[in-house]
Amino acid sequence: MAEVLIDRLDIHPGVFIRRVSRVSAYVWGGDRVWYAHLTNTGKLLDLLVGGRVVWCLPRRGVRTDCRLVGVPVSLCRGALIDTFWQERIVMEVFRRGLLRDLRGWEVVSRAPRVGGHRLDLRCRYRGEEWYVEIKSAVYYFPEDGSARYPDTVTERGRSHLRLLGALFRRGVKVILVFVAAHPFARRFVPHDADPEIPRLVCELRALGLPMVAIKMYLDAWGGVWVEEEPLSVDCL
């Protein structure tokens, strides 16, 4: 499938030491230990392994030295784990009309408040207002080539999916975007690390709620690539 270079990040390699909290980790930077910020709060146990090479973005003027944004899974390609950059790339895909199923969309605002929750984007499409929820899927299953979400129990994820269902039943325009941010991914499948998530996703799909899976990955030179064709969203 055709791939498009969307952006290039100034990444620096390091070696993962250990996670400090859900949002921070220690990384060996070659001459000292970096205190790294993590935006992805999943467990990431298949990627964040002690002694493994990781890719970081330097930071200045904040408490952390860098952001841990990616993990190589082959010689030149890796998973883009940073959820901030995943959202930025999704917005750019919308803006450029790169994906077959997402042409003509305009991003109006980020983090709109809906029903006591914050969703990710508010968009306009063909004169109508749409709400977009983005879920990061970097947990890779080599057995079937699928990127999966989630990799742990997530009450927040469940509440978002329930909210999307309630909004959709009331006639509100909503779309669910899964970011398959792993270079080997060939499909998306909801994961039973949280047993409720596959049931909720499949119920939403049966209702007719629009879903799309966007494949993206990070290369060794900091390039962020997106496949122009969406991946299938499959219920097992």
Pairing of strands 187-190, 146-149: parallel
Find the mean pLDDT for residues 36-65.
94
User: Over pLDDT 70: what percentage of the chain?
Assistant: 100
| pLDDT grade for 1, boundaries at 50, 70 and 90 | low
> What domains, with CATH codes, occur in the chain?
8-79 (2.40.50.580), 82-233 (3.40.1350.60)
| The model's pTM | 0.95
- Between these two residues, 98 and 69, which has the higher pLDDT value? 69
Pairing of strands 66-72, 33-37: parallel
The confidence score (pLDDT) of residue 60 equals 83
| Cα-based distances in Å from 40 to 66, 117, 124, 162, 171 | 14, 19, 27, 21, 31
| Position 140 pLDDT exceeds 80 | yes
CB-based burial label for 236 (10 Å; 0-12, 13-18, 19+) = exposed
